Amino acid sequence: FRIISFLRVINMNLSLKLAVVASGRPAYQIASELGITDTRLSKIILGLLQPRPEEQIKLATILGKKESELFPKKKTEVTLNE
């Protein structure tokens, strides 16, 4: 159980979590405004679900942030076999 909890923290979108907390509103209220369930928002924050592009835009607007602040593009490392 500890390993699973630790892995969830590794994948957590900390920027999104902090923005939700800083908004002063409960997550379920933000989820409702976004048009999704609070469970889906929780899974997005925990990194268990990837938000749809339109969800990213609307969530950034609701929280008064830039989309790039909440959902930075992940760099992928490519290794070529020589």
pLDDT band at 75 (very low <50, low <70, confident <90, very high): low
At CB < 8 A and 24+ separation, what contacts does 2-8 make? Answer: 8/46, 8/47, 8/48
User: Does residue 71 register a pLDDT over 70?
Assistant: yes
The C-alpha R_g of the chain, in whole angstroms, comes to: 14
Rounded CA gap, 3 and 1, in Å? 5
Q: What is the pTM of this model?
A: 0.77
Write the pLDDT tens digit of every residue in 10-57: 678 999 999 999 999 999 999 999 999 999 999 999 998 999 999 999
**According to the model, what pLDDT value does residue 72 have?**
85
Task: Answer for the pair 63, 30: CB distance below 8 angstroms, yes or no.
Answer: yes
pLDDT band at 74 (very low <50, low <70, confident <90, very high): low
Q: Which residue has the higher pLDDT, 5 or 49?
A: 49
